[in-house]
Amino acid sequence: MFFASDNSGPVPPQVLTALAEANTGYAMGYGADAEMAEVTARIREIFEAPEAAVFLVATGTAANALALSTLCQPFETIFCTPTAHIHEDECNAPEFYSGGAKLTLVPGAPGFDDKMTPEALRATIAKEETRGVHGPQRGPVSVTQVSERGTIYSLTELQALAAVTKEFDLPLHMDGARFANAMVALDCTPADMTWKVGVDAVSFGGTKNGLLGVEAVIFFDPKHAWEFELRRKRGGHLFSKHRYLSAQMLAYLTDDLWRDNAVKANDNCAYLAQGLRRTKAPFLHEPQANMIFAALPRATHQRLFDAGAAYHLWDGPLDGDPQEQVAARFVCDWAIEKQQIDQFLALITQPE
Ligand SMILES: *Cc1c(COP(=O)(O)O)cnc(C)c1O
């Protein structure tokens, strides 16, 4: 009953097989391996972007921080939501890698901080760069798809945000740690969700959806390629035995493994959500991909933890009034079994 994160589960056998197959003979290092040429070709094809520059790194934080640092100057500011991973969960890596660019927070719709609105984005951007040489200059906008609260920007919403970034002539970055989960939920193509709506660069997640540890950074304009190369090396993220990163990403993109895993994770989450709704647990956000934020009484949390369930409480400690509701985050990956979800739901509905 493991709902702590989608990085907690196993790796599908196809990925390990691909690694074993890559593990023969010799290959050039630092991205000059034959598998990387295939990865680039495959990503260009999948994204319908024949010019795209493609790079692999091992963590999402490196992908975001290096991509954003390539899109901005140290005296600029990056626009993101208050709940953005780049703001809350990367230990200031974007600020560090960009050499001191700051983050400016864009509020969401009233009561919701998961997604930015075009109105708030426009107002927030307009307010920056009004102090001449004394203040931060406007820099890239970064959106997270799936959002950190398990919600998804529709293509129309992305288009509207991109229109605002273009008004100010700023680049648009997408943190796609859960890119595939969003894409299959929207039933669109990779191109639909990125360059066709005006996204300039993507952190294309692999780890949360079944890889050992690989994310791709994709720039639709190859003019950023050399700068990114240099920043990745300088930042210590250019892998010497690179073929093992390439082999993972290639397995991910072969036979639709990346889509299939995302469909499974989203289906598992929908099944859990359906069960939770039957228990009348209040939802904090409408789950649209593979994450649920819902509240349960402390006594129920205690029973679940005692039975070995793993997940994170979101807005309060376990100690306190046992009847009081405390929100929690439940994440489903591709591998969790329905039986484990059933066992979990049975524990929730079990009479006191
Ligand atoms: C997990 C995650 C990342 C990447 O995190 P790493 O731990 O650095 O791999 C980036 N963005 C979001 C929204 C995430 O959930």
Give me Rg for the CA atoms of the chain: 21
pLDDT at residue 111, as a whole number: 76
pLDDT exceeds 70 at position 271: yes
CB 60 near ligand 1, within 6 Å: yes
At 109, is the pLDDT very low, low, confident or very high (cuts 50, 70, 90)? confident
| Contact of 348 with 300, CB cutoff 8 Å | yes
Cα–ligand 1 centroid distance for 178 (angstroms): 9
pLDDT at residue 278, as a whole number: 94
At 64, is the pLDDT very low, low, confident or very high (cuts 50, 70, 90)? very high
Domain with CATH 3.40.640.10 in the chain: 13-257
Which among 175, 95, 108, 96 is positioned nearest to 139, based on CA atoms? 95
Secondary structure (3-state) at 57: strand
- The whole-angstrom separation of Cα 179 and Cα 335 is 18
CB 261 near ligand 1, within 6 Å: no
pLDDT at residue 208, as a whole number: 97
Question: Using the 8-state DSSP alphabet, how is residue 235 labeled?
Answer: T
Instruction: Give residue-wise pLDDT tens across range 2-61.
Output: 999 999 999 999 999 999 999 999 999 999 999 999 999 999 999 999 999 999 999 999
CB 142 near ligand 1, within 6 Å: no
Q: Where is 232: in which H helix or E strand?
A: helix 225-234
- The whole-angstrom separation of Cα 265 and Cα 270 is 9
* High-pLDDT (> 90) share of the chain, %: 95
Once rounded to an integer, what is the mean pLDDT over residues 136-153?
Answer: 97
Average pLDDT, rounded, for the chain: 96
At 108, is the pLDDT very low, low, confident or very high (cuts 50, 70, 90)? confident
Once rounded to an integer, what is the mean pLDDT over residues 184-192?
Answer: 98
Q: For the domain made up of 259-349, give the CATH fold.
A: Aspartate Aminotransferase, domain 1 (3.90.1150)
Q: Which two tokens stand for residue 285?
A: 């956000």
Which ligand 1 atom minimizes the distance to the CA of 90? 8
Choose which residue among 8, 78, 85 to substitute to test ligand 1 binding: the one with the highest number of ligand atoms within 8 A of its C-beta: 85
pLDDT exceeds 90 at position 350: no
- The whole-angstrom separation of Cα 182 and Cα 153 is 8
At 306, is the pLDDT very low, low, confident or very high (cuts 50, 70, 90)? very high
- The whole-angstrom separation of Cα 56 and Cα 130 is 37
Q: Which two tokens stand for residue 99?
A: 């050499």
Q: What pTM was estimated for this model as a whole?
A: 0.97
Which among 30, 74, 78, 39 is positioned nearest to 229, based on CA atoms? 30
pLDDT at residue 352, as a whole number: 63
At 281, is the pLDDT very low, low, confident or very high (cuts 50, 70, 90)? very high
| CATH no. for 13-257 | 3.40.640.10
**DSSP output for 171-227:** -EEEEETTHHHHHHHHT--TTTTTGGGT--EEEE--GGGT-SS-EEEEESSGGGHHH
Domain with CATH 3.90.1150.10 in the chain: 259-349
